[in-house]
Chains A and B, each alone.
Chain A
Amino acid sequence: MSGIDPVILLAQLMVVATPILLAAIGELVVERAGVLNLGVEGMMITGAVCGFAVGVATGSPLLGFAGAALGGALVSMIFGLLTQVLLSNQVATGLALTLFGLGLSALIGQGYVGLRGPVVPDLYLPLLRDIPVLGPMLFRHDAVVYLGLGLVVAVWWLLTRTRAGLILRAVGENHDAAHALGYHVVRVRLMAIAFGGACAGLGGAYLSLARVPQWTEGMTAGAGWIALAIVVFASWRPGRLVIGAYLFGGITVLQLNLQAAGVRVPVEYLQMSPYLATILVLVLLRAGRAPGSLGKTFHAAQ
């Protein structure tokens, strides 16, 4: 146990939580608009391979992340077209999107296995990085870690403080009423789905470009599902989302460290602990209810 340094632990926590946080904040917006997209895992892994491919081709991590966001958004538009225009079932389509994303990414990624991607540099924050303890913990990360947190704040502000956010919530709460008032339900939802796809793509690319950093098939390994669960258990609120993602990241890092330290607990128990703890805590915190039209198909009646 003595081998675990809390400063490094917390620094790692922010890195581990970032892909989940990015995917979850995107899905939160999607669900607040009343759409249940279960394809987060598929969009993440598509983002991971697109980001890695663009990164390798251009040598620029920035372009890599942009490519990942674009890839995720494009894949999400398949879901958007099917569910919003062709009125297919959201649950089935979302599951199909996950399977499709896993297959598509394996296909695209064939030539990239074993390659090294461009290095994502840490953001150089003068002064802040030199604060003892807090510096190495909070201020020596790459830009994407801060982007994730910034997005959460931006989404919170958008949802609670702006008219666009009010319309988005209205569409998710009661799509028939929103339509009757003349809001474009399908348009709002498509935009939300695209945003969700882009965020999931960024989350995936963070794995393949920054955290691992390599391309391996199926490398998201269920992170998309965790993001989905965190959105629900966070009661669709951005603030709680951060708690959930960081808690999950924290316990993941902790159990990895415990494994490395050779604690005499079967590995399987350690591996399941992040999932158990996250669900437990968020269930205890649970408050509020789902958006009223979540997962329901909208068809503009005559």
Chain B
Amino acid sequence: MTDALLTLSGLSKAYPGVRANDDISFSVGRGEIHALLGENGAGKSTLVKTIYGLVQPDSGSMVLDGQPYNPAEPREARARGVAMVFQHFSLFDALSVAENVALGMENPPGLRALSDRIAEVSRSYGLPLDPARTVGGLSAGERQRVEILRCLLQEPRLLIMDEPTSVLTPQEVEVLFRTLRQLREEGVSILYISHKLGEIRAFCEAATILRQGRVVGTCDPRETEPRAMAEQMVGASFAAPSGAAREPGAPVLALRGLSAPAPQAFGTPLREIEVTVHAGEILGIGGVAGNGQDELTAALSGEMTVAPDMVSLKGTEIGRMGPNARRALGLCAAPEERMGHAAAPDMSLTENAMLTGAQRRGLVHRGFLRWGAARDFASAVIDRFDVRTPGPGTAARALSGGNLQKFVIGREILQAPECLVVNQPTWGVDAAAAAVIRQALIDLAQEGAAVVVISQDLDELMEIADRFCALNEGRLSAPRPMRGLTLEEIGLMLGGAHDLKEAG
């Protein structure tokens, strides 16, 4: 490592009940791409917010470029040459690209001059963008370009990127990496946060691994086994999901010309979706966020009704039916957002179990709720899926993301559905919990259910899906067998291609 640009020593930050950062020390070299690895809740976000001046540490110090560095607010961090691209984009949908960029700068020039600068910088880094467009209508990849450009216009010395690739197609990831490498050539240091080990191995020169707020290891990711890094992150070893090869059985779920207008502003309409899912099969639906995943989930679960013949379950036309009627026939679903959509945050796990399990588990008797049976059902889910919680009386809000996700998926699986639809089943879930959930989906298919997994995590789909199709601007590509499909072919299916031509 050459001399350090940023050195952290002994940084600690405690919140009531949790030590988010505990005595963290490491340094980032000049022109180095440094990875910060860790599970959700390991303290990565708190740490980078400290560096960006959004969080004040309780103790410890930082040195930037040989000078003490203790930013009281992001303004100060930006002035010292630290820029950050956020995980959940810090963009404003109703404002234009240029206005969004202006908001992230200290002393932006006038809008017209700024637009020229944006055009110029975006050309030189191969990130095409129209400054006048409204951000609400941009794709995820384009939105990230806005964030990156906002940073580049300030000529940063340290660029912090918080899970930048989680919403990008493989091709967009390539474009991003090319840009970041170009920046490194120019001497910019990059602090790169991710839990995708593959890209870190390909791309980073040093890595610091966090677990429960502490530094548990440093390594050179180019020379370390991904499995070893993963186990350091989790602090335990875990089994990868496995399952015997399955023979697809009779058709269960059939979509015929499924079309629907976007239910919300900035939503995506569904266009002529045709696919059949068979018993014992896992159909993986990939795609970049905002290409109709939520709308497709809603159309399948019954939250959004369509023409009767567009969706059929074992020959019964169910397009007009609501979620309860579909559940009664054997189609269960778990939406993406677990807090507030799949589960009611302020209700107990028993109550949440009652909400979807009432029909298929017989939790209602002559219009009266059978709380005892609901509690038993919730307990069964907790036991079977290893949900870490004091008991079924706990409010859903109190569970960590991974545990709540295990609960909401388990709740549907234990209803023995003939067809299960899940959207982003392991989003923001730690690796161990993700493995449990994936195994449960495979087991369900093995028992003869048809499973539809909508996910933006391609590794996940490659691991569990039998067939793969891509969702792009509300259109579904023809399914192809997952086995033998290369990452490049998948990328082309995801339809990042039109985006890429401009960029190339």
Interface residues of A (CB under 8 A from B): 163, 166-167, 169-170, 173-174, 176-183, 289, 291-292, 302
Bound form: Cα–Cα A174–B99 in Å: 14
- Cross-interface CB contact of A170 among B15, B53, B92, B265, cutoff 8 Å: B92
Q: Is the CB of B54 within 8 A of A177?
A: no
Q: Is the CB of A174 within 8 A of B15?
A: no
- Cross-interface CB contact of B46 among A180, A181, A289, A302, cutoff 8 Å: A302
Q: Is the CB of A174 within 8 A of B20?
A: no
Bound form: Cα–Cα A164–B15 in Å: 33
Subset of 24 A-B contacts with CB under 8 Å: A163-B102, A163-B108, A166-B95, A166-B103, A169-B92, A170-B103, A174-B91, A174-B93, A177-B91, A178-B90, A179-B54, A180-B86, A180-B90, A181-B90, A181-B103, A182-B54, A182-B73, A182-B74, A183-B103, A289-B94, A289-B265, A291-B94, A302-B20, A302-B55
Bound form: Cα–Cα A182–B53 in Å: 8
B259–chain A nearest beta-carbon distance, Å? 25
B4–chain A nearest beta-carbon distance, Å? 25
Q: Is the CB of A169 within 8 A of B20?
A: no
B131–chain A nearest beta-carbon distance, Å? 14
**Closest 5 A-B residue pairs measured CB to CB?**
A182-B74, A177-B90, A173-B92, A180-B90, A182-B73
Residues in A whose Cβ lies below 8 Å from that of B265: 289
Q: Answer whether residue B89 sits at the interface, using C-beta atoms and an 8 A cutoff.
A: yes
Q: Is the CB of A292 within 8 A of B75?
A: no
Q: Answer whether residue B104 sits at the interface, using C-beta atoms and an 8 A cutoff.
A: yes
Residues in B whose Cβ lies below 8 Å from that of A289: 94, 265
A114–chain B nearest beta-carbon distance, Å? 50
Bound form: Cα–Cα A181–B265 in Å: 25
- Cross-interface CB contact of A292 among B46, B54, B93, cutoff 8 Å: B93
Residues in A whose Cβ lies below 8 Å from that of B78: 182
A182 with B94, Cβ < 8 A, contacts A163-B102, A177-B89, A302-B15 known: no
B71–chain A nearest beta-carbon distance, Å? 9
- Please name the residue on chain B nearest to A290 by beta carbon: B94
Residues in A whose Cβ lies below 8 Å from that of B103: 166-167, 170, 178, 181, 183
Residues in B whose Cβ lies below 8 Å from that of A182: 53-54, 73-75, 78
A20–chain B nearest beta-carbon distance, Å? 26
- Please name the residue on chain B nearest to A289 by beta carbon: B265
A189–chain B nearest beta-carbon distance, Å? 16
Interface of A (DSSP majority class)? helix
Residues in A whose Cβ lies below 8 Å from that of B20: 302
Interface residues of B (CB under 8 A from A): 15, 20, 46, 53-55, 73-75, 78, 86, 88-95, 99, 102-104, 108, 265
Residues in A whose Cβ lies below 8 Å from that of B90: 174, 176-178, 180-181
Bound form: Cα–Cα A245–B312 in Å: 53
A173 with B95, Cβ < 8 A, contacts A180-B86, A182-B74, A302-B15 known: yes
Bound form: Cα–Cα A167–B88 in Å: 19
- Please name the residue on chain B nearest to A179 by beta carbon: B54
Bound form: Cα–Cα A170–B101 in Å: 12
- Please name the residue on chain B nearest to A180 by beta carbon: B90
Q: 13 extra interchain contacts, Cβ-Cβ under 8 A, other than A180-B74, A292-B93?
A: A163-B102, A166-B103, A169-B94, A173-B94, A177-B86, A178-B90, A178-B92, A181-B90, A181-B104, A182-B54, A292-B92, A302-B20, A302-B46
A48–chain B nearest beta-carbon distance, Å? 35
B113–chain A nearest beta-carbon distance, Å? 14
Bound form: Cα–Cα A135–B163 in Å: 65
Bound form: Cα–Cα A166–B75 in Å: 17
Bound form: Cα–Cα A166–B100 in Å: 9
Question: Looking at B46, B54, B102, B103, which has the most chain A CB atoms within 10 Å of its CB?
Answer: B103
Q: Is the CB of B94 within 8 A of A166?
A: no
A286–chain B nearest beta-carbon distance, Å? 13
Q: Is the CB of A174 within 8 A of B92?
A: yes
Bound form: Cα–Cα A169–B91 in Å: 12
Q: Is the CB of B95 within 8 A of A180?
A: no
Q: Is the CB of A292 within 8 A of B94?
A: yes
Question: Looking at A163, A167, A170, A182, which has the most chain B CB atoms within 10 Å of its CB?
Answer: A182
Bound form: Cα–Cα A174–B20 in Å: 26
B404–chain A nearest beta-carbon distance, Å? 18
Bound form: Cα–Cα A166–B95 in Å: 9
A184–chain B nearest beta-carbon distance, Å? 9
- Please name the residue on chain A nearest to B91 by beta carbon: A177
A77–chain B nearest beta-carbon distance, Å? 25
Bound form: Cα–Cα A177–B87 in Å: 11
B93–chain A nearest beta-carbon distance, Å? 6
Q: Is the CB of A166 within 8 A of B53?
A: no
Residues in A whose Cβ lies below 8 Å from that of B95: 166, 169-170, 173
- Please name the residue on chain A nearest to B72 by beta carbon: A182
- Cross-interface CB contact of A166 among B15, B93, B102, cutoff 8 Å: B102
B368–chain A nearest beta-carbon distance, Å? 33
- Please name the residue on chain B nearest to A166 by beta carbon: B99
Residues in A whose Cβ lies below 8 Å from that of B54: 179-180, 182
B480–chain A nearest beta-carbon distance, Å? 38
Bound form: Cα–Cα A173–B92 in Å: 6
Question: Looking at A167, A180, A183, A289, which has the most chain B CB atoms within 10 Å of its CB?
Answer: A180
A221–chain B nearest beta-carbon distance, Å? 35
Residues in B whose Cβ lies below 8 Å from that of A302: 15, 20, 46, 55
Bound form: Cα–Cα A170–B91 in Å: 9
Bound form: Cα–Cα A177–B143 in Å: 13
Bound form: Cα–Cα A126–B88 in Å: 59
- Cross-interface CB contact of A173 among B73, B75, B93, cutoff 8 Å: B93
- Please name the residue on chain B nearest to A173 by beta carbon: B92
A99–chain B nearest beta-carbon distance, Å? 28
Question: Looking at A173, A181, A183, which has the most chain B CB atoms within 10 Å of its CB?
Answer: A181
B394–chain A nearest beta-carbon distance, Å? 22
A301–chain B nearest beta-carbon distance, Å? 10
Residues in B whose Cβ lies below 8 Å from that of A178: 90, 92, 103
B28–chain A nearest beta-carbon distance, Å? 21
Bound form: Cα–Cα A170–B78 in Å: 19
Question: Looking at B15, B78, B94, which has the most chain A CB atoms within 10 Å of its CB?
Answer: B94
B300–chain A nearest beta-carbon distance, Å? 28
Bound form: Cα–Cα A170–B55 in Å: 21
Residues in B whose Cβ lies below 8 Å from that of A177: 86, 89-92
A130–chain B nearest beta-carbon distance, Å? 42
A5–chain B nearest beta-carbon distance, Å? 44
A266–chain B nearest beta-carbon distance, Å? 42
Bound form: Cα–Cα A166–B90 in Å: 15
B212–chain A nearest beta-carbon distance, Å? 16
Residues in A whose Cβ lies below 8 Å from that of B92: 169-170, 173-174, 177-178, 292
Bound form: Cα–Cα A176–B94 in Å: 15
Bound form: Cα–Cα A291–B90 in Å: 16
- Please name the residue on chain A nearest to B102 by beta carbon: A166
Residues in B whose Cβ lies below 8 Å from that of A180: 54, 74, 86, 90
Question: Looking at A179, A291, A302, which has the most chain B CB atoms within 10 Å of its CB?
Answer: A302
Question: Looking at B15, B20, B53, B95, which has the most chain A CB atoms within 10 Å of its CB?
Answer: B95
- Please name the residue on chain B nearest to A291 by beta carbon: B94
Bound form: Cα–Cα A180–B84 in Å: 10
Bound form: Cα–Cα A70–B410 in Å: 59
Bound form: Cα–Cα A68–B229 in Å: 66
Residues in B whose Cβ lies below 8 Å from that of A292: 92-94
